Amino acid sequence: MVCFMETWLRLSRFPVQNKEKFRLLKEYKDSGAVLKYLEKHRVSALIKETKLPFNIEKDLKKLKDINGGLITIFDKEYPKILREIFDPPIVLYYRGRIELLKNFSIGIVGTRKPTKYGVTATEYFVDELVNRQVTIISGLAIGCDAIAHKRTLKQKGDTIAVLGTGIDVVYPATNRSIFKLIEQNGLLISEFPIGTPSLPHNFPSRNRIISGLSSGVIVIQAGDWSGSLITAYNALNQGREVFAVPGNIFNKMSNGCHSLIKQGAKLISSVEDILEEFSNPDLFSNTSNHTYEKNVELSKDAQDLLEVFENGPVEFDEICKQSSFAPGYLLSLLTELELNNILIKIDGCSYGKKYN
């Protein structure tokens, strides 16, 4: 077993692009034969310069010390959905619950600096998908990624973080607490060897795995060009569903999503917009309670107040104008509707219906 692991660890670290290793594995059907071929021929055009020292024995010890593991593209645990993409990683290093790779998953990505609207949208879609037992995949970056992971864990859902570093490297450092929680309750994976630092060119490569593991990808907010758009374009090339959340036309963080919508991504405003793209009802083991009128007992004033939101979100000052309630009492009614999951607060001062 150790010899088998050593072969794959060496192959993982060999300074040749993944797509060339994958091509050779398809041809030779054996990792040892591929490693021998590469060590013998070392075609300079295929070799990427690297000065990172490594020691296989240290790799094995480190994997053991962090309760990590490695699965190969030949293993039954390797997800079929990922194996089908153009350039699947030949190995996946992991920490945590490897069984999550078998789950139906949706990727959620977005800007590192979301607005309050972006935060609200991320949390809304996470809540609704987790309620249906969908696993959430993201890249553990700051911003929308971190929010998606944290919200999933808060809702007792399953989440997978795809790293652009080794599985023993926390990046960014500010996400250390989330990293630890995902290790304990979810799954951390990476195609990069132990000790790999945060190198800029690794993250676009990481993004193809986020989309490759997902049946669909949601882009929450994105500027004109960002890693989120790279993930979305990977998803399109891989035949995945791409969903974009519309935003404020005057906010540059909406530009990326609006561009995706123009190019054919599906505009989404509710979780039903996502689920209707997947025809198999067995994928979702729970259903959303969106028929709140039948199941929630509201005060008469709260029921009357709902009429204000029939045409979309409304700012607090406008709610005051359209209703006859004093501001203090109005706040208590809005809180009642929020607690019953009927209204959602947007951008700190607007409210809108959570279910249509």
Model pLDDT, residue 342: 85
Model pLDDT, residue 351: 84
What is the C-alpha to C-alpha distance for residues 87 and 98, in angstroms, rounded to an integer?
21
Tokens representing 109 are 């990505």
Q: What is the mean pLDDT of residues 3-20?
A: 90
Confidence band for 355, pLDDT divided at 50, 70 and 90: low
What is the C-alpha to C-alpha distance for residues 341 and 316, in angstroms, rounded to an integer?
18
Model pLDDT, residue 194: 95
> Cα angle vertex 158, ends 153, 164, to 5°?
90
**Exposure of 226 in the CB half-sphere (CA atoms within 13 A):** 24
Model pLDDT, residue 291: 39
Residue 287 has pLDDT above 50, yes or no: no
Percent of the chain with pLDDT over 70: 90
Domain 99-283 has CATH 3.40.50.450: yes
Model pLDDT, residue 96: 97
Domain 292-353 has CATH 1.10.10.10: yes
Residue 294 has pLDDT above 50, yes or no: no
Cα–chain center distance at 168: 20
The dihedral through the CA atoms of 168, 166, 152, 173 has a sign that is positive
Model pLDDT, residue 107: 98
Domain edges within the chain: 1-51, 99-283, 292-353
- CA-closest candidate to residue 190, choices 177, 171, 173: 171
Confidence band for 7, pLDDT divided at 50, 70 and 90: very high
Query: Which helix (H) or strand (E) element contains residue 156?
Result: none
Q: pLDDT tens digits, residue range 94-114?
A: 999 999 999 999 999 999 999
Model pLDDT, residue 290: 41
Model pLDDT, residue 292: 40
Confidence band for 293, pLDDT divided at 50, 70 and 90: very low
Residue 67 DSSP one-character state = T
Output the average pLDDT for the chain.
88
Q: Which of 225-229, 263-267, 316-320 has the highest mean pLDDT?
A: 263-267
99-283 and 292-353 have identical folds: no
Percent of the chain with pLDDT over 90: 66
Distance (Å) of CA 41 to CA 6, 22, 36, 44, 168 = 20, 16, 9, 9, 32
Tokens representing 328 are 């203090």
